Amino acid sequence: MKFLILSLLLLSSCATVQQADVDAWKGVNVIELETHPVFSSMSLEKRELSNGTIQYNYINKGSRTSPTNCYKNMNGSTNCYGGNSVSITCNNQFSVKDKIVLEYRPLGKCYTDCSARPESRPCN
């Protein structure tokens, strides 16, 4: 939950996916993915593709509410706008074959940092 809240705050401030965080997963044993503290706290959908690859999709989903802005018009009445709820979803898709991560694709409104890397490949 802490990661989700942090992610939502960062998403609202132009956070991005760091290519080095994505590349760090290539060639990693799937056990690191399955036991990773960030990804193991997310919902998981797995499916087997026709070529024998298994797609792991860790879903990070939440919402945020935009600020409500109010102003007084010339006749003294108050008008407000905003306050809309926006859904934020990141699909963290990993392709795995023979227990090795082939590729990591963060799709949607995603953010990565060192906490999204495999423990065997931390940031320097």
CB 79 within 8 A of CB 71: yes
Q: Compute the Cα dihedral for 2, 38, 117, 15 and give only its sign.
A: negative
Look-up: residue for tokens 């609202």? Answer: 12
State yes or no: pLDDT of 8 exceeds 70: no
The DSSP letter of residue 34 is H
CB 45 within 8 A of CB 59: yes
Picking from 103, 123, 113, the residue whose alpha carbon sits closest to that of residue 28 is: 103
The neighbour count for residue 70, using CB atoms within 10 Å, is 11
Instruction: Provide the residue type at 16 as one letter.
Output: T
Three-class SS state of 4? helix
pLDDT digits (tens, 9 = 90+) for 83-122: 777 777 999 999 999 999 999 999 998 999 999 999 999 9
pLDDT digits (tens, 9 = 90+) for 31-50: 999 999 999 999 999 999 99
